[in-house]
Chains A and B, each alone.
Chain A
Amino acid sequence: MILLIAGCGGGSSSQRIVGSVTLSPSTAQTLAVSQSLPITATVANDASGSGVSWTLTGVGSLSDVTTTSVTYTAPSAVSSSQTVTVRATSKANPAASATLQITVTSGGAQANVLSLSVNGGPVPGQLYANGAFANVTLCVPGTSNCQTIGGVLVDTGSFGLRLLKSAVTLPLAPLTSGGSTINNCVQFVDGSFLWGQVAAADVHLAGEQASSVSVQLIADPTGFAIPTSCAAGGSNNNSLAALGANGILGVGTEAQDCGPACDSSSGRPTPPVPAYYNCSTSGGCQPAFVSLAEQITNPVVKFPVDNNGVLVQMQSLSGTATTASGNLIFGIGTQANNALGSATIQTLNNVDNFTTAFNSRTLTSSFVDSGSNGLFFPDSAIATCTTASGFFCPPSTLHLTAVNHGQNGTQTNISFTVDNAQNLFNSNPSAAAFSTLAGPMSGGFDWGLPFFYGRNVFTSIRGQTMPSGAPAAPWWAY
């Protein structure tokens, strides 16, 4: 009787099966954050010399990939110890593979902390006052092909990640619908609009990782003329010089930029504009519905943990400084560093506003917004600047107070200072951080970045799970 050994061309039982894979190191490894580990693979009887292909399941990344070796690098932070698997699969015999388990231990820089810098922004020759900028890492989904982009404005008043296409070198494929490319248009209260393709990317912020998140790649042109419903009445911010940043990281109170209004299940007869468009060479760009899952998404809600909101901690600042720093911490009540403590929670209405009482007026469309670069509120008694358009220029420093009211009845008294913006800019031509910068706005109180200096400001996201005892989101707490 002949003993058949599977996959063999014959030979003794002491011979290895063609294509079996062995790894070095071969036993489970433990790494600290940011450490790298070179791994080699040997394929038995690999007559073709085709070697292996590599895959990674879990956090971290693979680099220096060859058919016989790879380097695994642990992420810069993990919220808790995690085990990943690196698999080498024989190309000659895909049924043969070997795995190596690597445990990444937490410690060192925390996974949920992203540095913020009020540093004037990434545009040479331009000083962006009171903009908090951070680094964002993007990857082609499911791969370790990644890129880190700095100079991204952190904005708790918007939802979703938008990046200048010119700053992104990764090959990110746009989302499509039928044969059309999905594009997005968004407008802001500074009279600007952003236009560009919607694409899926893995988004890594500090040690947090979100898989396959819809982002906007801002560009003009995109290959399609900007629809008049998008551009009409707005100023085009689709460039580095106009935007003043490489992108906007919207980590506010909602999970998507548009929400139910742009989803076909809303029952609306037509898609709203300006929002999403299906663009094709034959049909141009037509308004379109896009499901919640495919809409531009607040990356925080797609983290596996620390996904219910953010905490912005900015340093204290009295007066003006060349730069200021702080942290964007992911999660509320999920780690030792993001507990609510004694912060007062103020719940919001259905359009994410609360009420500010100021100067005997009740301003019901008030909000907290790190993406606004001053405090903006109505006060016809304060002189406005002639040159520094959009800011207040009182003849001398003003010390004012207001009271914020949450829908849940909580109340906070806020004291704030307003200086002459023109004098501030003239006297501090190299400064980026201004704690007393303010300007006129009709109809509500905009608690912009000066509100954040010296405070812990929590922003919770509608629909996410709140810490025990806290009301349903959305709310701000500080």
Chain B
Amino acid sequence: MASYPTVPRSAYVLVLLSLICPAFAWCALGDTVSSVEADRVQMRGAVRVQQVNGISVHEISDDHGTQVREFVSPQGSVFAVAWQGQFIPDLQQVLGKYFDQYSEAVRAQKASYVGRRPINIQLPGLVVQMTGHMRAYSGRAYLPAMVPTGVALDSIH
């Protein structure tokens, strides 16, 4: 994924977070994040955090090179998640309580006309989009109502 041109290198901070989330490697879409001092938290991959205009982006890379980015609003809500790598991450974990809505929309897209085409779900309350081919997948999911004003949708990737 492209780096954020407005973020100086000094803004990259290795932060150890205790997350108010299920005990997965990352928070799901729509969850609330709180950063807490002190204890090391064992996570499955290194966490990097960037701060851009009050939005924090938590980037996690696992053993297999899959990167997941969580976009967190100033209020601490995960309003978007993006991923990139050879393997698509577990979307039940990534989409959390939005997974069922996503599954239903996928079923509807495939039922409308048969044929392999990239997932592009655009519902008023949920957007999920995927791109790529074997060995190189990327995608994103966001909650339109929770995207803070001033954040360009193009920057979610």
> Contact residues of A with B, CB < 8 Å?
121, 123, 126-131, 153, 155, 157-159, 186-192, 228-229, 232-235, 242, 244, 250, 252, 254, 257-259, 261, 268-270, 272-275, 351-353, 364-365, 367, 369, 371-374, 376, 384, 387-391, 425, 439-444, 446, 448
22 contacts between A and B (CB under 8 A): A129-B115, A158-B134, A189-B118, A189-B137, A190-B116, A232-B93, A233-B88, A233-B89, A252-B133, A257-B135, A259-B135, A261-B64, A261-B65, A268-B63, A273-B87, A275-B87, A365-B138, A372-B116, A388-B112, A441-B129, A443-B140, A444-B131
B64 cross-chain contacts in A, Cβ below 8 A: 261, 268, 272
Min CB distance, A22 to chain B, in Å? 54
Q: Is the CB of A126 within 8 A of B134?
A: no
Q: Is the CB of B140 within 8 A of A387?
A: no
Report the Cα distance A372→B105, complex, angstroms.
19
Min CB distance, B143 to chain A, in Å? 15
Q: Is the CB of A390 within 8 A of B87?
A: no
Report the Cα distance A39→B117, complex, angstroms.
51
A254 cross-chain contacts in B, Cβ below 8 A: 134-135
Q: Is the CB of A233 within 8 A of B94?
A: yes
B106 at the interface (CB under 8 A from A): yes
Q: State which residues 73-94 of B face A: CB under 8 Å.
A: 86-94
Q: Is the CB of B88 within 8 A of A365?
A: no
- A190-B117 in contact given A235-B106, A269-B63, A275-B87 (Cβ < 8 Å): yes
Q: Is the CB of B133 within 8 A of A233?
A: no
Report the Cα distance A425→B94, complex, angstroms.
35
B15 cross-chain contacts in A, Cβ below 8 A: none
A191 cross-chain contacts in B, Cβ below 8 A: 106, 109-110, 119, 130
Residue of B nearest to A380 (CB): B153
B101 at the interface (CB under 8 A from A): no
- Known pairs A254-B135, A389-B105 / 13 extra A-B pairs, C-beta < 8 Å: A129-B115, A188-B116, A190-B118, A191-B130, A232-B93, A235-B110, A273-B87, A369-B133, A374-B115, A376-B120, A391-B113, A439-B118, A444-B131
Q: State which residues 107-157 of B face A: CB under 8 Å.
A: 107-110, 112-120, 122, 129-140, 157
**How many B residues touch A, CB cutoff 8 Å?**
46
Report the Cα distance A127→B114, complex, angstroms.
7
List the count of A-B residue pairs having beta carbons below 8 Å apart: 172
Cross-interface CB contact of A374 among B2, B117, B134, B140, cutoff 8 Å: B117
Q: Is the CB of A261 within 8 A of B86?
A: yes
Report the Cα distance A425→B135, complex, angstroms.
32
> Contact residues of B with A, CB < 8 Å?
2, 63-65, 86-95, 99, 102-103, 105-110, 112-120, 122, 129-140, 157
Q: Is the CB of A128 within 8 A of B119?
A: no
Q: Is the CB of B113 within 8 A of A129?
A: yes
Q: Is the CB of A353 within 8 A of B136?
A: yes
B91 cross-chain contacts in A, Cβ below 8 A: 232-234
Min CB distance, A265 to chain B, in Å? 15
Report the Cα distance A272→B95, complex, angstroms.
21
Report the Cα distance A228→B89, complex, angstroms.
12
Q: Is the CB of B87 within 8 A of A157?
A: no
Report the Cα distance A381→B86, complex, angstroms.
30
Report the Cα distance A186→B134, complex, angstroms.
8
A367 cross-chain contacts in B, Cβ below 8 A: 132-133
Q: Is the CB of B129 within 8 A of A187?
A: no
Q: Is the CB of A159 within 8 A of B134?
A: yes
Residue of B nearest to A364 (CB): B2
Report the Cα distance A351→B92, complex, angstroms.
26
- A372-B117 in contact given A157-B134, A390-B109 (Cβ < 8 Å): yes
B109 cross-chain contacts in A, Cβ below 8 A: 191, 389-390
Report the Cα distance A257→B90, complex, angstroms.
19
Residue of A nearest to B153 (CB): A380
Q: Is the CB of A389 within 8 A of B112?
A: yes
A229 cross-chain contacts in B, Cβ below 8 A: 90
B131 cross-chain contacts in A, Cβ below 8 A: 189, 365, 376, 441-444, 446
Report the Cα distance A259→B136, complex, angstroms.
12
Residue of B nearest to A126 (CB): B114
Name which of A191, A235, A372 has the most chain B CB atoms within 10 A of its CB: A191
Name which of B91, B118, B133 has the most chain A CB atoms within 10 A of its CB: B133
Q: Is the CB of A351 within 8 A of B136?
A: yes
B112 cross-chain contacts in A, Cβ below 8 A: 387-390
B135 cross-chain contacts in A, Cβ below 8 A: 159, 254, 257-259, 351-352
Residue of B nearest to A233 (CB): B91
Report the Cα distance A352→B55, complex, angstroms.
32
Min CB distance, A377 to chain B, in Å? 10
Q: Is the CB of B117 within 8 A of A352?
A: no
Min CB distance, A369 to chain B, in Å? 6
Min CB distance, A67 to chain B, in Å? 47
A234 cross-chain contacts in B, Cβ below 8 A: 88, 91
Cross-interface CB contact of B92 among A157, A233, A258, cutoff 8 Å: A233
Residue of B nearest to A127 (CB): B114
Q: Is the CB of B90 within 8 A of A233?
A: yes
